[in-house]
Amino acid sequence: MVATGEQYVNQRLQGIGMTSRRTRERMINRLKEQGITNTQVLAVMSDIPRHIFVDEALASRSYEDTALPIGYNQTISQPYIVAKMTELLMENGSLSKILEIGTGCGYQTAILSKLADKVYSVERIEPLLKKAKDNLWDLDIKNVSFQHSDGGWGWQEQAPFDGILVAAAPSEIPDMLLQQMAMDGVMIIPIGTKNKQELHRVTRTKTGFEDEVLEPVTFVPFLSGKG
């Protein structure tokens, strides 16, 4: 018998055992050991099922602290880095409007959607954007708008944003993204080359931009144009 749409979604959400509370709790405990303290971030990461964002063949590894392939030479970010970037973005309180560059499979997008009023997410590879839309639909997430574009342009029509999160590493901070930050807005972005990248937090102040270098990271490169 063919499963109905709803049955199919339910089967996917339930997974094959690896979604047990214990498996997810292990991931949350690991995040706490790694220094994540924001209880809202931890609660959301415990709620969103990471296994539905990866291929079934990789689902049993989906709660490990590792990046996993999602096709098209891209990866779903490691849980620690998703938690860390979200926590940094939220440090001064909750955000109303977030711009995310690099939707990928939509895992980080789903986390952000639970912590902001509205998320705008841009991805250059169209089939990935389609995957992300399907995943968020299955989770009944409705406060996200997507755009197939080069994220280096930001999303001018919706600016300014009080938070910007970039999930791929450019060699320098794209000027258009700086321009689309609200006053007191925060941008979390990896900057560097393939072999050496650092996570930056940029804050827009009355007098300009404050740029803090936080920790070494490894992201896929930020590429120009549509994929």
Residue 77: active-site member: yes
In the bound state with ligand SAH, the residue whose beta carbon lies nearer, of 47 and 184, is 47
Q: How far is the C-alpha of 87 from the C-alpha of 158, rounded, in Å?
A: 23
> Coil, helix or strand for 145?
strand
Number of CB atoms found within 10 A of residue 221's CB: 15
Q: Which stretch binds ligand SAH (CB under 6 A): 9-17, 35-43, 54-62, 149-157?
A: 149-157
DSSP states of 71-134: ETTEEEPPHHHHHHHHHHHTTTS-EEEEEEE--TTSHHHHHHHTTEEEEEEEES-HHHHHHHHH
Which parts of 97-116 interact with ligand SAH (CB under 6 A)? 101-102, 104-105, 107-108
Structure tokens at 163: 């938070």
Q: Please pick, from the candidates 24, 124, 131, 204, the single residue that binds ligand SAH as defined by CB under 6 A.
A: 124
Q: How far is the C-alpha of 216 from the C-alpha of 193, rounded, in Å?
A: 12
152 binds ligand SAH (CB under 6 A): yes
Q: Considering 77, 96, 171, 224, which one is annotated as catalytic?
A: 77
Q: Please pick, from the candidates 15, 83, 89, 123, the single residue that binds ligand SAH as defined by CB under 6 A.
A: 123
Q: How far is the C-alpha of 108 from the C-alpha of 198, rounded, in Å?
A: 19
The values of phi and psi at residue 201, to 5°, are -115, 120
Which parts of 153-172 interact with ligand SAH (CB under 6 A)? 167-168
Q: Which stretch binds ligand SAH (CB under 6 A): 14-22, 33-41, 74-82, 209-217?
A: 74-82
Which parts of 29-58 interact with ligand SAH (CB under 6 A)? none
135 binds ligand SAH (CB under 6 A): no
Structure tokens at 46: 């415990």
150 binds ligand SAH (CB under 6 A): yes
Catalytically annotated residues: 77
Residues forming contacts to ligand SAH in the complex (CB under 6 A) are: 74-77, 101-102, 104-105, 107-108, 122-125, 128, 150-152, 167-168, 220, 222-224, 227
